[in-house]
Amino acid sequence: MAAPRGDQVTDDTRDSQGAPASNGPGSTGGAAPMWGGRFTEGTDALVKRVNASIGIDKRMAREDLRGSLAHVTMLATTGVLSQEDGEAIAAGLRGLLTDLEAGRLEFTEEFEDIHMNLEHLLTERIGAVGGKLHTARSRNDQVATDMRLYVRTRTQTLRALVHDLQAVLVDMAEANIDVIMPGYTHLQVAQPVRFSHHLLAYQQMLSRDAGRLGDAAARADVSPLGSGALAGTTFPIDRRQTADLLGFAAVSANSLDAVSDRDYAIEILAALAILMMHLSRLSEELIIWSSQEFGFVTLPDAFTTGSSMMPQKKNPDACELVRGKTGRVYGSLVGLLTVMKGLPLSYNKDMQEDKEGLFDALDTAEDSLRLYCAMLPRTRVNAERMRKAAASGFSNATDLADHLVRSGVPFREAHHVVGRLVALALTTGVSLEDLTLDQLRSVDERIDESVFKALDLETVVNARDNVGGPARTRVLAAIAAARAALKE
């Protein structure tokens, strides 16, 4: 489960020194919840377990401490806290951050979430003054800040990995510039293309993925800190200062929206879903291409597995897992959309479910990108097998029809002639270019020696010499353009 924010308030759950209020007379014992002042009985054990989110939101500990440091710096600057109290709290927070980086902090469900765990640890270290940290702040704007900081960092990492994978694809394209393969529609051989051209199609998809992640990150780059539980605070805070300290580009314009908005998380999930869809399509092709029937590529042993029963097997498990995990990311997107669709303003506890799916999707996408960045450079391309498949699949049939049209044969008639020639080649068990001139002329006497140049696969591919086409010069230009874009 993900981090609770609840209907927390800033100051009415604390005594005059800022320490947590005690439980009421009905308490079941244990540490007093920081929000427990108005309750007369303890929380049911099952509710505690369902309510606790520390197992999920503890990964935002660094962001929570950074947000708290910015908040207490602002409180001291504006005079809401004394300089002495501000410095004591800041020193305690820096100590916690040092211990977090060293792996020395331990969290517990007793304090529900990362916010209260860290505040408890702070107060244990520096005393009751630690309780003043939460002045003019709610867990509602606190967690919204943590999440935006967290996804900003993660999307930067993902965009860098997308960039790396694009570079891998460009390198593969350049290394295999003269490899010709069949292009497909309906998974049936259609027209020949360069393998490089095929790889660059995925490079283009990833370019758009990087753009979507960047757009989503830009809209997440807004500070909600200072919005309180839903209606801000009566203290004279400086929201611009905390935003600047945390590196946010802007301050949220509406406190209700700030604490209840999860658009940015949904948008990032949508970008991740599209990214994973692209990786799933690449996975599907590699799975097909690495089969014995195709044999276009050979996947590295380190990214495949065997069978416990059949010793000859080499299974493309890594590709299959990426293809399968795509559904998990889709589920996270639909899940958060479903959580948010019926919620009134502003914060509702349903929104605790915003993190687990988001974090899982971020992890899944990152692992998938890292996997492909490592696997593709070690994948062997079987150029001869690809070329043979392009020839035997009659991928040059359209060009033969075009050749006849240029010779004065009406297109519909040329289409019919080529269909008969394909049937003849199938009957004799050869490709179109392997038919003799006499065999070709037996179908149509207008065919002459020039037909063999028209049927050559290099000629066929290079004839498509338009922007975005598979001709050698166009693919080399696309590779150069892709490299230039990646350098930017």
pLDDT at residue 341 above 70? yes
Q: Convert the pLDDT of each residue in 66-84 to its tens digit.
A: 999 999 999 999 999 999 9
Q: 227 and 312: one domain?
A: yes
In angstroms, the CA 486 to CA 255 distance is 39
On whether residue 427 sits in a domain, the answer given is yes
Q: 58 and 154: one domain?
A: no
pLDDT of residue 28: 39
Active-site choice (163, 186, 291, 368): 186
pLDDT of residue 27: 38
CATH at 180:
1.20.200.10
In angstroms, the CA 296 to CA 290 distance is 6
CATH at 98:
1.10.275.10
On whether residue 94 sits in a domain, the answer given is yes
pLDDT of residue 253: 98
Q: What percent of the chain has pLDDT over 90?
A: 82
Say which residue, 23 or 54, is predicted with more confidence.
54
pLDDT at residue 12 above 80? no
pLDDT of residue 25: 36
pLDDT at residue 30 above 80? no
On whether residue 16 sits in a domain, the answer given is no
pLDDT of residue 16: 32
Q: 277 and 339: one domain?
A: yes
Least confident of 141-155, 361-375, 434-448: 434-448
Domain count, the chain: 3
Q: 268 and 212: one domain?
A: yes
- Cβ atoms of residues 191 and 392 within 8 Å: no
The boundaries of the domain holding residue 66 are: 36-135
Q: 408 and 462: one domain?
A: yes
pLDDT at residue 357 above 80? yes
pLDDT of residue 392: 86
Catalytic residue check, 186: yes
What residues does 377 pair with on adjacent strands? none
In the block, tokens 């007369």 appear at 40
Last residue of a domain, one of 332, 350, 382: 382
Q: 167 and 228: one domain?
A: yes
Active-site choice (22, 82, 307, 450): 307
- Which H or E run contains 168? helix 139-175
On whether residue 27 sits in a domain, the answer given is no
Q: Convert the pLDDT of each residue in 371-429 to its tens digit.
A: 999 999 999 999 999 999 998 888 888 889 999 999 899 999 999 999 999 999 999 99
Q: 364 and 405: one domain?
A: no
What residues does 381 pair with on adjacent strands? 297
Q: 438 and 453: one domain?
A: yes
Q: 374 and 418: one domain?
A: no
Q: 302 and 374: one domain?
A: yes
pLDDT of residue 21: 39
| Biggest distance spanned by C-alpha atoms of the chain | 105
pLDDT of residue 29: 43
Q: 221 and 366: one domain?
A: yes
Last residue of a domain, one of 382, 409, 426: 382
Banded model confidence at residue 35, pLDDT cuts 50, 70, 90: low
Say which residue, 52 or 223, is predicted with more confidence.
223
Q: 321 and 402: one domain?
A: no
Last residue of a domain, one of 341, 367, 382: 382
pLDDT of residue 38: 78
pLDDT of residue 23: 38
On whether residue 300 sits in a domain, the answer given is yes
Q: Name the E strands within 44-153.
A: none
Q: Phi and psi (nearest 5°) for 223? A: -85, 120
Give the CA count within 13 Å in the CB-facing half-sphere of 111: 18
On whether residue 189 sits in a domain, the answer given is no
Catalytic residue check, 403: no
And the tokens for 17?
A: 């020194």
What average pLDDT does the segment 267-289 reach?
98
pLDDT at residue 300 above 90? yes
In angstroms, the CA 311 to CA 308 distance is 7
On whether residue 70 sits in a domain, the answer given is yes
Q: Convert the pLDDT of each residue in 126-139 to its tens digit.
A: 999 999 999 999 99
What average pLDDT does the segment 263-286 reach?
98
pLDDT at residue 229 above 60? yes
What average pLDDT does the segment 306-331 reach?
93
Which of the listed ranges 12-21, 47-56, 248-257 does the model predict with the highest average pLDDT?
248-257
Q: Convert the pLDDT of each residue in 142-184 to its tens digit.
A: 999 999 999 999 999 999 999 999 999 999 999 999 999 999 9
pLDDT of residue 185: 95
pLDDT of residue 36: 67
pTM to 2 decimal places: 0.87
DSSP letter (8 states) at residue 387: H
CATH at 470:
1.10.40.30
Q: Write down the mean pLDDT value for the chain.
A: 91
On whether residue 112 sits in a domain, the answer given is yes
Say which residue, 397 or 323, is predicted with more confidence.
323
Quick one: which of 171, 163, 282, 147 has its CA closest to 213? Answer: 163
